[in-house]
Each structure stands twice: as structure tokens, then as C-alpha cells.
Amino acid sequence: MSTTADFLVEIGTEELPPKTLLSLQDAFADKLQDALHEQRLDFVAAHAYASPRRLAVIITDLAMAQTDQETEIKGPPVSIAFDSAGNPTPAATAFAKKCGVPIDHLGRSSSSKGEWLLHRSLEAGVAAAELLPACVQVALDALPIPRRMRWGSSDVEFVRPVHWVVMLHGTAVVPGEILGVAAGNLSRGHRFLSPEPLAIDAPKNYVSLLRDSGYVLVDFAARRAKIEASVRDLATECGGAVIATDALYEEVTALNEWPVAIAGQFDASFLSLPREVIIATLTGHQRYFSLAGPDGELLPAFITIANLESTDPAQVRAGNERVIRPRLADAAFFWKEDQQEPLSSWQKDLEQVIYQKGLGSLSDKSARVASLAKSVATELGGDVPAVERAALLAKCDLLSGMVGELPELQGVIGRYYALASNESQEVADAIREQYLPRFAGDTLPVSVVSCSVAIAERLDTLCGIFALGKKPTGSRDPFGLRRCALGLVRIVIERDLDLDLKALIALSVGAQGVSSEENPSDALYDFIVDRMRAYFRDRDGLSAEVFDSVRVRRPDSLLDFDARVRAVAAFVALDSAASLAAANKRIANILRQAGHTNSGAVDVALLGDGAEKTLFVALVAAREDVSPLLNRRDYAASLTRLAELRAPIDNFFADVMVMAEDEKLKRNRLALLAELRGQFLDVADISRLSIGKE
């Protein structure tokens, strides 16, 4: 009899949320593997599957039972377990009874501390069939589902109502109940093409059975690949190329079980609308794929994915064309109506829209952003009037009919309407680019005007929410502040903008008009800087220690922070880095233990000849060389120069007793070490580096 067999679990549901289907699929497989490991059930691999109506995992070569486990129970010391004549005492008798064995079956364990009685036993593994239902339930309970629902009269909760559950270990059904449904071997295929139950005889036949008899491509990746290929081929037949994002492909894959590509057309007169409006209408409302011709211009055509193989594809095509026509007509109406008045005409109406309870209206926010953006532009040498104008108009398009219909076009439509209202190109671009970057890897604002507005917009959001005491906690971030802060970091560093972040935070916090017992400025600075940890790790593979060595110095400028981080990363590669880091750690410990407060200068007259004076002379020379380097933020050169102090420092610790009995000598030597440490601290706290031994 085989000791392993493949295991299949399938949870059949109502249509699952398309935007989270892939994450649910992956999480189900991950959590199930964790649960199996926890139960000591060995297996080879896990394969995750998902379609609109199911989540499934196949575990290959899953053990039929837990691995046997040897257990040891430590008893009383032998000196207590037996008397001087070697007879067992009540302590030995009680321990044997507890273990369920005669005393002479007990073993012994010895160490340098003595000898104890010991009972060893082999615990036979439990059959997998007894453990699998609980493992599946644990995995389902751990899925990232923000809000679960109940259905019928049951108290069971899941992301969607559950209709069937399959659990097969080999060819045998694993008995049990999952989410209120008894497990079996009956799955279901496509809702319309294969409505009858499908009996699965073995996990290895699951994918092929659903494909051949159920009209379901259950493998998410394979389904997406088919969609991409069919859309691409059909686009070529139409004489165009596909315009699609990764997110659109993922969502369409999550919406279909048996994808079939169909091309359609719309009235060419709609091409007079902005490109973004047409794409958003096709994609956002209908999940259609837009097409562009060889010249890059949009074609009056689209491709949609039908979730079935129709006997009359012309009717399916006509239905999709009929649906999109009024959508585009609505967009054309809003485009015309919105431009009856200039963009600035909506400014007064912003007063009637609440931005956030406690932070006033959108008009109040626009005024705060405009004031802060002017400060940013002044620091950067930008066009202050243009920055102020852009900030005051930045939210006006939120009141337009077009953005009301297509919210994802905020800023984009504002730019078009600004240009139509004879606003300058810089102002119009800033209205659009205030939202950049919107996601990881997205483009950044370009001009100083755009950057100033984008930075001010993010700082106002961060400061306002922090002032209300609603900063993110744990994994909860309802206001998207982590993404907001990371966008700020990217703009400042990648656009090479030297700004005093602490001063700008103070200005923005002061403008919020929120009374709070605690000033959130320091917490907000830390929150923004903490986003840089992952940013530097992803960009440079930077270690946490290098980051922390700079973070503790709390530079005012994020650009300055970046320069210091790069310098420390280069310093770590020097031959002398390990020795200097260890010396700095030693110096920090000495100063802390001595309670030295950095008060008082070094008295040259108290310096002894030899290593003590040599270190002082070398430090003075290094300070003179490093000072101009620090002024121009050449931190790499500064640390390289300070690295030359390695020999004098090593000799000092080898020859000089810092904690001398003479109080004056001790204080003077502590002052020398404090000055030395301060010189390194001007760049970073390298005592935090654990570079290792040379």
C-alpha cells in the first residue's frame, strides 16, 4: 500500500471578487501548506487553482499519516528517585505511573549537572484523513478577506456563499464538513455549458476533467495566457495592437472560466473624445480591451472576452457593441457640458464638499496645499505663482460630470479642462501630475511646479490624518498613507529635490487647525522615513543596519539621507570598516557607562606622549579635511578620510587606559573619545554596523 497520495481540495462558491481572486488563490495554497507542516504531514509540492466559482489546491504526494514522533519526558533526579539501597522512592513510582510503564522500563539521561530518569516513547502518527478537514478550515480562516458574509440561516462566514466542497486523498473522499458543506467528490463545471455535477475520481484528473467535460480552465495562469494570446491574435486580425494593463488582464482572467475573444466596433465619431476617456470607458465599465493602429492612434474597435463559446458569436458581438454605445455617448455629453464654464468656476463649489471631518472642505484643503506648495517652490526656486494657481485648481475637476462618471480620470480631465480654460501648460500638467506616482513603478511628476504641488498634496494629507490621530495601525491603512508617503519619498529622491522635510512637516501640521495633545510632527517624520527602508532595500539591496545607522541621525532632508546611506554602504566595503565599526561601538559603550555628556574640550596639556597624542593629532588633521567635505555632502569621501584613523585608534586602545584613576586624565580621555565619535556621527552612527571580524 502506498504511503502517499495526491490530495485535492476544492471550495465551490458563488462568483468570487475578481480583483482579489489571485491573492485568495495564492493565500489558500500558502496557508494550507503551513497547516500541513504544523500537523507533521509531509508532501512534495502544492499547486493552486482558481476560477470565478472555485478555489482549489492539489497537494502532491501527501503522506497518508503523520510522521511518527519520538517523545521524551524528563523525570526526577536519580538521587531522589532511589534511596541509598537502590530501591525506588515514591518519586520514581509516581513518575513511572504517569508514563504508564514499570520502573525498570525507564531510561536515564546524564549531563554535567547530574543524572535523571527519562521515559522515551514513540507516538504513532494520526491518519491524514482525520487531520485534513481541520487543516483546510484553518487555511480558509486565515485568508485575507476584509469582510466575510453569511448566507441562509447559517452562522458560517466566507467571502461568498459555498455550494460544494471536494476533498480527495488519492481516490478516497476525505469525510468532513467545511464551511457548513459536507465534502465529497462532486465538482461543477461551467454554469451554463456544463451545469451537471462532475465526479472526480482522482486529484491528478481534476484539471483535465474540468477542461474537457466542465468547460472550465481552472489554472489561473493558463487561463490568462490563453486570454493574452487570443486577444493579441484577434487584435492583429483587426489591424491594431492591444492597449491593456496587467491589472486588466488579471481582472478579466478572474471573471471568466471559458474565455473566448470577440472583436467589436463603436462609432468613429467618439474618437474626438480624449484617448484616456475612451480607454477608461471601455476598460473601467466593461473590461474591454482598447486597440491602437500602427500610428498609435485609437481605433474605433475593441476586444471583449466572453465567458462561453457561443453558437451565435455575431449576437454576442452586437450585444457588447450595444452596451458600450450609451457609455461613450454619456462621456461625450459630459465632455461637452463640463466645458461650458472655465475650470476655475468650480472653485467656489469646493467649499460645499467635505474633505474629511475635522479637516474642513476641499476648498480648505486646496488653500492649505497652495500655501505649502508655495513654500516648496520657493525652496526649489520654482515658479511660485504657477504653483499656487495649480494647487488652487487641483481639485476642481472632482466636481465635473466626467470625473463623477469616471473617477479614475481625476487630474487627467483637470488637465484637459485647464488647457481649454487657457491656463498655462505648467499649471495644467501639475493638475494631472499631482496624483503621480499612483502605484509602484509609476511615472513621477516632471516639472518643479508639478513636483511642488504633488509634494504639498501628500504632506497635507499625511499631516491632516496624523493630526486627527488616525495614523495606520498594523496592516490597516484606510487612507492609503503608506502609499502616499512612499510616493513622496520617490518624488524627492528620484527628482533630486533638496527640501527641509522637518520644516515642511511643521508648516503643514500648523496649518491643519486641529488641536491635539501631542504634536504629530516627529511621528510623521518617522513614518515617512520608515517608508525609505523598503525603498532602499528594493533599490540597492541595502541592509537594515546601514539604514539604521543613518536613521538615528534624523537628517532634515531626504536627499541628504540618501547621500548618507550611499556613503555608509560604500564605507562597509572598506578593509578598515569592521575595525572602525567595532571601535565606535566600544567608544559608545565607554561613554555611556561613564555617563559622559560631551561637555568640555580636550586639554592638549593632559595628553600623554605616544598613542594618545598621536590620535589627537590625527583627529585634528582629519577634522580639517572632513569639514569642507561635510559642507558639500560628500559623505563617502568623509568616511574614507576618517577610515585613515584606524591605526591611531587601534594603537590608542592597545596602549592607553581610558578609565584612569586620575580623574582629570579620565575626563580628558573621555572628551577625546567623544570628539572622535562625534566626527563619525556627523555622517552616521557606524557603531550600529555589525560587519564581522576581519
Please classify residue 401 by burial: count the beta carbons closer than 10 Å to its beta carbon, then call 0-12 exposed, 13-18 middle and 19+ buried: middle
- Which of left, alpha, beta for 597 (phi over 0: left; psi -120 to 50: alpha)? alpha
Q: Where are the domains of the chain?
A: 4-66+127-212, 74-123, 220-338, 345-541, 562-688
At 460-503, the pLDDT tens digits run 999 999 999 898 887 788 899 999 999 999 999 999 999 999 99
What is the average pLDDT value for the chain, to the nearest integer?
92
* Mean pLDDT, residues 345-360 taken together: 94
CATH code for the part of the protein at 345-541 = 1.10.3210
Count of CA atoms in the C-beta half-sphere (13 A) of 260? 15
User: What letter would DSSP give residue 361?
Assistant: B
pLDDT over threshold 80, residue 392: yes
Spatial contact of 36 and 135, defined as CB atoms under 8 Å apart: yes
pLDDT category of residue 599 using cuts at 50, 70 and 90? low
Question: Residue written as cell 502518527?
Answer: 125
| Cell numbers for 165 | 466542497
Spatial contact of 535 and 607, defined as CB atoms under 8 Å apart: no
Query: How many residues does this entry show for the chain?
Result: 694
**Cα–Cα distance measured from residue 449 to residue 373, given in angstroms and rounded to the nearest whole number:** 9
pLDDT over threshold 50, residue 223: yes
At 153-199, the pLDDT tens digits run 889 999 999 999 999 999 999 999 999 999 999 999 999 999 999 99
Lowest mean pLDDT among 25-39, 498-512, 657-671: 657-671
pLDDT over threshold 70, residue 598: no
What local confidence, expressed as pLDDT, does residue 550 receive?
94
Q: Which helix (H) or strand (E) holds 442?
A: none
What local confidence, expressed as pLDDT, does residue 400 receive?
96
Of the candidates 40, 50, 43, 44, the one whose C-alpha atom is nearest the C-alpha of residue 9 is 50
What local confidence, expressed as pLDDT, does residue 693 receive?
46
Question: Residue written as cell 596602549?
Answer: 655
**Cα–Cα distance measured from residue 123 to residue 96, given in angstroms and rounded to the nearest whole number:** 17
Fold of 562-688: Isoleucyl-tRNA Synthetase; Domain 1 (1.10.730)
**Cα–Cα distance measured from residue 387 to residue 658, given in angstroms and rounded to the nearest whole number:** 58
At 225-271, the pLDDT tens digits run 999 999 999 999 999 999 999 999 999 999 999 999 999 999 999 99
* Mean pLDDT, residues 441-463 taken together: 96
What local confidence, expressed as pLDDT, does residue 54 receive?
98
